[in-house]
Amino acid sequence: MKILLLSLFSFAASAPLSAQDFHADMTTEVETNFKDKTNWLNLLKLSFSVALCKEHLYLDLATFSLWETRKSGVSNDYQTFSDIFTGNMLLTPATIGLRWENGKSSLFLGVQKSDDSYIAYPGAGLFTNSSAGAYPTMSMNSSIPVYPSAALGIHYVYSSCGWTAQASVLNGKAGSHFSGGDNVFRFCPKSDGVFSIATVDYSAHGSIYMLGSSFYSGYVHPDLPVDSETPDDGSRLNRLAFHGYAEQQVSPSAKLVFQASASPSHGADCTAYFAVGATKKVKQTELGVISNYAHFSFGKEWATEATAKITLFDNMYIQPALDFIRSDGDTNVIGLFRAGYSL
């Protein structure tokens, strides 16, 4: 199947240049706990979009490849302080599908990660902590398609006058391979359940406000924490979550960032999450600090990150970050240095 994916990339590359949109994003990252553990990660994301029918129908392709020196990471925090740490992988499918656009509407059918569409806001996107972008009330309560996993489904977007409404229905168990029980083309609602998510956001004058909800109906899978409530009678579990986001422009170069989410479902692994942060642009450097709290069935965690993203060229940046994490009685201080290059 990876050969098939490479063939699709080759097909897309043979299309006229005016109809192509190719990106290669390379990230290298060094992590340390300032004691006895270090890790080096290298991530390559390839993405390609090509128009198939008068620029209304597009073929979208994207893959991840990651190599790291330490599989266990450098910290035992609950939320994972790095949003790219996951384990070695080669050409893991992230997006494979057809996208139809017509004016204010867009419809995608195929394999996709939900965080590409629902969590990709610029303010939270500055930070390297995984929960500064994703909501653990969703990602830790079911096997939903967030990095590095993806799932087969349908995604619809409507935008008008600063308002954007979007909704998705996906297979309830995400995958990261082309074959086997973990394959991304799997669509088995009877055994895997169904995951749905919808959001409405409004953007104006540099600020963004979002409200949304997600619902998973299915079964807890082995890749979730062992504390998960797994019914012995084969009955379905329902996981409901509400989430909100605000990115408030307070000056031409500064923003405040707010996140909140709650899951009222009985037996949920993560029941509440909130975060408060701020970003400021100083010439070619974007400074940021964010602090978040997550409440789990097996404990609670506070995490604070301070970072600076320095743009060296239009397509290259470096980003040091420092994380202070307290998971119940365990305290970790993590240092991170990231560099990125885009083609």
Average pLDDT over residues 296-307: 93
Q: For position 228, what pLDDT does the model report? A: 46
Whether 25 shows a pLDDT value over 80: the answer reads yes
Nearest C-alpha neighbor of 196 from the set 239, 229, 245, 243: 239
For the whole model, what pTM was predicted? 0.88
Q: For position 189, what pLDDT does the model report? A: 86
18: tokens are 């005016």
Whether 41 shows a pLDDT value over 70: the answer reads yes
Nearest C-alpha neighbor of 302 from the set 272, 263, 262: 272
Q: DSSP character for 3?
A: H
Q: Span 2-342: which CATH code? A: 2.40.160.10
Whether 267 shows a pLDDT value over 90: the answer reads no
According to DSSP, the β-strands at 57-68 and 89-102 are antiparallel
**CA 33 to CA 35: how far, in whole Å?**
5
Mean pLDDT of all residues belonging to the chain = 87
Average pLDDT over residues 57-64: 94
180: tokens are 């086997």
Whether 144 shows a pLDDT value over 80: the answer reads no
Q: How many CB atoms lie within 10 A of CB 210?
A: 19
Nearest C-alpha neighbor of 84 from the set 19, 141, 139, 129: 129
Q: 61 in helix, strand or coil?
A: strand
Confidence of residue 14 (pLDDT cuts 50, 70, 90): low
**CA 323 to CA 164: how far, in whole Å?**
33
> What are the sequence ranges of the domains in the chain?
2-342
Q: Which residues are within 8 A (CB) of 64 and not within 5 positions of it... i.e. 6 or more apart?
A: 43, 44, 45, 89, 91, 92, 94, 147, 148
pLDDT tens-place string over residues 177-232: 888 878 899 888 888 889 999 999 999 999 999 999 999 988 755 444 434 445 55
